[in-house]
Homo-oligomer: A and B are copies of this chain.
């Protein structure tokens, strides 16, 4: 018995100081390679007691436990806040691995981390409410919520929560583009439950196709899997499904393997069209080689419970095909709570909630939005061109030398990132070159407002919305938490760019997205990776880069260990085909 107690104590030591112990464990598992790239976050002492409301503390309410909300919570560490997190999911999910969950390459539980595990490490009071936000009442600074547990526990429960600062990070919903029948008959791939449901349905289709009384035609229908949308998610799911079928199911359902058909529909001319052309070409060739039925330029017009109808963009031809399962992965739409909020705050005519470059919801005090639920409404240079000019024109002469801009160049470039992108695009070295470029004909050293406008006229065409990715949401969450951590400090000493239309400086630097690259797993242990600087890598080596990056980006050591061991398990035993 004493022997056992030793073990028990050891385990307690491990639970209290996991980093060192697990480092050892993972080094063994991965040959040390993962450690080099994984973030090393020292575990903090848990302060989990939920205290009473402290009137001096600012109430921060976070809506959502996705990438934006969780990275904000994880990095917020100023003790002057008390935080309430409200979300229908009591966990954070590592969504880029959802396509892997659909086929059992990775288990659902390996990609989730209870939000309370993150919350209990905070130095300030943090409470979590498993509830859905029904309405944001910005006028009264409160949010109205409804508990999301199964109703057999006693019906719906509504409550409201006050805030001083509100962080909206509710993400988006799948966009059906109002195509009839999609909502009722298609699977989406946004939540962990979706992935689990897809997994069960794939097995259901196979099992049902084994029933002896099923006709050949029906069998073919059941084993026709359709993926709508050739973006990274759709492509990865198609690739994973193909691997699942060929690696695992073919040997378990030998009589069915020739009946399986995987169709990938994309409305545009190519799949993965946000990637480099080389990746698109490689992916399309690989899919065709693998026998995946790739149909580009094909728009879905209708879905019934057994049939999907498409229209070819080029020819206008209408096709109907029977299917066993459809996964719909075409884009994102705005959640109803956000649509209603937008109406209330005068953004009703917009498609997506707009924030400024500091992630503040436009026109709102103390309401912020991160991730897929919002876009940054980047201010155009032309809108402020007079103000910028007059800021540089200290003596109000209306005419400036090139040299006179030097005090404001940094601020212009920071406030309007499109300027820098434009200069890079045109291969101009510095702002002076930009100004000179426009007036190359007349070598005039003096610039007036018209010349200035002319020089910057093309700059705003470089303004682009950020993609709706985990990377963006995560960086936004981190950025915002840093602002919150330094709120008082920056209030006293603003560090942002000049206010061209007002006086003084902005409190913070505006949010700037840093693209770290993107992966598109293509199955068969091959991945395409587009890295910063347009560096493209395709093949087996990128797959290992993918493994490394995804392992390192896990939100906790627990999920990191689980994901890595899931990969190892799949490598050794294959994927499980039990219908659970």
Contact = CB atoms under 8 A, between A and B. Distances in A.
Nearest to A208: B149
A577 B558 CA distance: 12
Interface in A122-153: 127-131, 147, 149-150, 152-153
Given A14-B571, A203-B90, A212-B129, A113 B157 contact: no
B90 A207 contact: yes
Q: Which of A18, A525, A577, A578 has the most CB of B within 10 A?
A: A578
Given A109-B578, A580-B109, A252 B210 contact: no
A565 interface: yes
A218 interface: yes
A11 B159 contact: no
Interface string A66-95: 000000000000000000000001110000
In the complex, the count of this chain's copies comes to 2
Contacts of A573: 15, 18, 557-558, 561
A251 interface: yes
Contact of A572 (B18, B158, B208, B253): B18
Contact of A211 (B8, B159, B201): B159
Interface stretch (A328-336, A374-382, A502-510, A540-548): A540-548
A562 interface: yes
A211 B155 CA distance: 13
Interface stretch (A43-51, A267-275, A424-432, A450-458): A43-51
A574 interface: yes
Closest CB pairs A-B (n = 7): A4-B540, A91-B578, A130-B207, A159-B213, A558-B573, A116-B252, A149-B204
A365 interface: no
B211 A131 contact: yes
Given A4-B541, A112-B580, A127-B210, 5 more contacts: A8-B525, A50-B254, A130-B208, A154-B306, A558-B576
A120 interface: yes
Contacts of A3: 540-541
A407 B470 CA distance: 82
A161 interface: yes
B46 A117 contact: no
Contacts of A4: 525, 540-541, 543-544
A344 interface: no
A114 B577 contact: yes
A192 interface: yes
A5 interface: yes
A211 to B, nearest CB: 5
Interface of A: 1, 3-5, 8, 11, 14-15, 18, 21-22, 25, 46, 48-50, 89-91, 107-109, 112-114, 116-117, 120, 127-131, 147, 149-150, 152-154, 157-159, 161, 192-193, 196, 201, 203-205, 207-208, 210-214, 218, 222, 251-255, 305-306, 324, 525, 539-541, 543-544, 557-558, 561-562, 565, 569, 571-574, 576-580
Contacts of A252: 48, 114, 116-117, 120
A578 B211 contact: no
Given A112-B580, A578-B114, A580-B193, A211 B11 contact: no
A258 to B, nearest CB: 13
A540 B11 CA distance: 15
Contact of A113 (B50, B149, B578): B578
A419 to B, nearest CB: 42
Contacts of A5: 540
Given A196-B580, A573-B561, A1 B116 contact: no
B207 A572 contact: no
Contacts of A21: 572
